[in-house]
A and B are shown apart, each in its own frame.
Chain A
Amino acid sequence: MSKNGYLQIHDPLKPKGQAVGIDLGTTHSLVAAVAQGKPRCVPVDEGDSLLLPSVVHYGKDGGVITGARARTLAGEHPTDTIASVKRYMGRGPDDAETRKLSHYKFVPGANVVRFDVAGGNPVTPIEVSGEILRALKRRAEAHFSMKVEQAVITVPAYFDDAQRQATKDAGRLAGLEVLRLLNEPTAAALAYGLDKGSQGTFAVYDLGGGTFDISILKLVDGVFEVKSTGGDSALGGDDFDRAIASQVFQALGINEPSPSIVAQTLAASRKAKEALTDAPEATVTVGGQSHTVKRADFDAWIQPLVNKTGLVCRRALKDAGVAAGELDGVILVGGSTRVPAVRRFVAELFGREPLGDIDPDQVVALGAAVQADLLTNEDRQDEVLLLDVIPLSLGLETMGGITEKLIQRNSTIPTAAAQVFTTFKDGQTGLDVHVVQGERELVEDNRSLARFTLSGIPPLAAGMARVEVRFQVDADGILSVAAKEQSTGAEQSITVKPSHGLTEEEIERMLLDSIEYAEDDIQARQLREQRVDAERVLAEADRQLREHGTLVQGDERAAIDAALAKVRETAQGKDYLKLKEAVHALDETCRPFIERVMNQAITQVVAGQSVEDY
């Protein structure tokens, strides 16, 4: 739920460097951008890897490490190293998801999950995700030698409002303007659709590390219309790992494993699972003991989870009004679709072999980059349009804890609904409203999104004051609320208390806390810019010396060489001010020589040669 008023619309924008697409995944995160008309992923981790493991380590000194290096620290510092943080986005400490097998220390109480980590205050999933986004932003900036301030960030199609808002807040903490939250299956379809220029109806089956999504899309005349979507935002490869880990604990008689043993076993189970994709058996070793897992056993353990995806797919087809046989293609996305049992299941379910020609790891990020380009590049705007839907119905709590649906699932966004509330007591000036999301009849079975109070209602007889509340869902799938008293036409103030999110004040405070980082960011950027400048100056000096070396006089050469060396040396360092000084010094040292070069040029122009030769 949006917290700053009715609509989160920003001020007019200036061009803001390179717009990027980010796949903020449970297991891996990627950043991509369109350059020379083609989307490409940017190297973001050690060994020029395009995948940044979505792992954040908090050190005792307050330092933060992300990526592959953080992952190696998980065994030794299980509670300070957060992996799969996406599973906790927009969740409370009592959610079923939070209570699954894990190696974290949660801070009790509060409405948002908080990890108790080394080096300072507990952190929320929004901050942890913010660190991942910040790392991606920095690496993209280094790659492009350009600012990166605008991003399309992907979310599972089945993410509810709280999870979407949490993702958007994480973007803000990382200093990114979130151009759009894009549903992951839609992003994948965009990457495919543009490649092939195809038309037709497609199913996108996306099983990643933490989430499952299915979307049915129709592509006609450049418009991608999502017909229906479904999923489970707590079902993915992580659950396959947990299935193996629990069996291994059982087989080895380990009853109350320590966080460190849990972390190690989950990592070993994951390795074994991935090995089982190509081999008939694999071994999991925990604390010196080993257990061998056969593929057939693994297939049986995950069968209930895989079947769950089948039900969701059938419902999505039904909601779309499409029979499996009418599909023109099935697209597989996500690392967990590499599991042979999953592939077999999907092929059988849809009665056809799925497509997988684009790398399933990259396809979402590539689609996001295309959307970022479509949103920022005026020349491309009329090529393609995405029309997405809201995945879960939005409703209100009514008498007796019953949900009254206001906006049905699979409604195309943006969409809106209005509801009129009347007072039930004489002189009543306030009304409480509880917004929920989900398909179930009882409020307690759905997700509580927020509670708010309509205040400042004119005191009238019971039933006389009528307040119209308008619920607007924007193109990100995020809800905002506005209210108007009908007899006076006065706008009502609304105080939103997100059930599982941070308040605007909390976000503001986190932004202030991160100013320190922002300073780091500015320094890093200035250093990059200064380095580019230095390279240009060095190249120019070399050229002049090569072509007009005869014009150097006396001991000038030694001074120039020293100044050149100084620039090269400081360019290796981190202090952009020193580098700036060195560049300036080089300029000064070269000046008499360059003046001679220019003078000679002018003399020669007079003699009939062009200055451009210089």
Chain B
Amino acid sequence: MRTHFDVFGLPRAYDVDVPALEKHYRELSLQSHPDRVAQADARERLKALENTTALNEAFKTLKDPVRRAFYLLKLHGVDLDREDAGAQKDMPLEFLEEVMELREALDGAMEKKDLARVQTMGGQVQGRRKAALDEAAGVLRALEGGGPAEEAPAQVRKASHALGRVRYFTRFLEQVDAFEEESLS
């Protein structure tokens, strides 16, 4: 299978030089975009459409550290974007408790229309999200670095727990955003 890394001719790794990636993306776009073959025959235009669609998907995934982490995890066989993913149900109990608490606190603040409180909570969750992502990044680096094979399953589980938290915090922050926007309008 052609990975997003292959599209850019990059080795599979957690760390990506984003400015260099952006430059490469512009160059590849200039070559493959449908606009470059607007007057060519249907087959060539279809090919340009497909290539550019794949290029855009690869760029979107690799330039963003969060998407990149989820993608690497998927290459290790755990797709957290699928609603039926077993990994989602498999989160540690402490985390589920933490989630319940946060949930109740946010609902309470939103009900009271307490924008300041909601924003403070947003700030805190932002910090936790960063910590979870850093943890996932550490594990993914080790995984891609090619450690002993027998440690891989445990590490994949660790990464998927960390990213499960990132995912939850991201949704939380989206709700904070929506509330903020609503109160400002």
Contact = CB atoms under 8 A, between A and B. Distances in A.
Interface string A208-228: 000000000000111101000
A442 interface: no
**Secondary structure of the B contact surface, majority rule:** helix
Interface in B37-53: 38-42, 45-46, 49, 52-53
B34 A382 contact: no
B184 A475 contact: no
B82 to A, nearest CB: 9
A305 interface: no
A374 B34 contact: no
Interface string A373-406: 0111010011001110000000000000000000
Contacts of B184: 311
A9 interface: yes
B56 A12 contact: no
Nearest to A383: B30
Interface string A55-86: 00000000000000000000000000000000
Interface residues of B, number: 25
B42 A9 contact: yes
A311 B46 contact: no
Interface in B1-51: 23, 26, 29-30, 33-36, 38-42, 45-46, 49
B35 A415 contact: no
A551 to B, nearest CB: 50
B39 A385 contact: no
Contact of B26 (A12, A220, A376, A416): A220
Nearest to A440: B178
Given A223-B26, A385-B30, A412 B35 contact: no
Interface size class on chain A is: 20 to 34
B60 interface: yes
A374 B35 contact: yes
A67 to B, nearest CB: 30
B124 interface: no
A474 interface: yes
Interface in A333-375: 374-375
B29 A415 contact: no
A415 B56 contact: yes
B88 to A, nearest CB: 16
Interface string B43-69: 001100100110011011000000000
Contacts of B60: 411-412
A308 B185 CA distance: 8
B35 A472 contact: no
A179 interface: yes
Nearest to A416: B53
Nearest to B40: A12
B181 interface: yes
Contact of B56 (A220, A223, A308, A414): A414
Q: Which of B40, B42, B46, B59 has the most CB of A within 10 A?
A: B42
Nearest to A179: B38
Interface string B138-167: 000000000000000000000000000000
B53 A12 contact: no
A7 interface: yes
A414 B181 CA distance: 29
A7 B46 contact: yes
Interface string A396-431: 000000000000000111111000000000000000
A378 B39 contact: yes
Interface string A297-339: 0000000000010010001000000000000000000000000
A382 B30 CA distance: 7
A412 B41 contact: no
Contact of A223 (B30, B40, B59, B185): B30
A95 interface: no
B181 A315 contact: yes
A13 interface: yes
Interface in A105-137: none
Given A9-B42, A220-B26, A311 B53 contact: no
Contacts of B59: 412
B56 A413 contact: yes
A597 B23 CA distance: 67
A386 B30 CA distance: 9
Nearest to B83: A404
Contacts of B41: 11-12
Interface string A1-34: 0000001011111000000000000000000000
Contacts of A11: 41-42
A386 B38 contact: no
Nearest to A221: B26
Nearest to A318: B177
Given A7-B49, A472-B53, A311 B42 contact: no
Interface string A152-191: 0000000000000000000000000001100000000000
Nearest to A307: B185
Given A223-B30, A311-B184, A385-B29, A414 B36 contact: no
A308 B184 CA distance: 10
B107 to A, nearest CB: 16
Contact of B35 (A10, A411, A475): A475
A12 to B, nearest CB: 4
A415 B53 contact: yes
A375 B38 contact: yes
Nearest to A12: B41
Contacts of A414: 34, 49, 52-53, 56
A311 B181 contact: yes
A374 B60 CA distance: 26
Q: Which of A7, A413, A414 has the most CB of B within 10 A?
A: A414
Contacts of B34: 414, 474-475
A65 B65 CA distance: 57
A223 B38 contact: no
Given A311-B185, A412-B56, A414-B49, A387 B38 contact: no
B36 A381 contact: yes
Given A221-B23, A475-B33, A475-B49, 11 more contacts: A9-B42, A9-B49, A220-B26, A311-B181, A381-B35, A385-B33, A385-B36, A413-B56, A415-B57, A474-B34, A475-B35
Closest 4 CB pairs of A and B: A375-B38, A12-B41, A9-B42, A223-B26
13 contacts: A9-B46, A10-B42, A225-B26, A308-B185, A375-B35, A375-B38, A375-B39, A414-B49, A415-B56, A416-B53, A472-B53, A474-B34, A475-B52
Interface of B: 23, 26, 29-30, 33-36, 38-42, 45-46, 49, 52-53, 56-57, 59-60, 181, 184-185
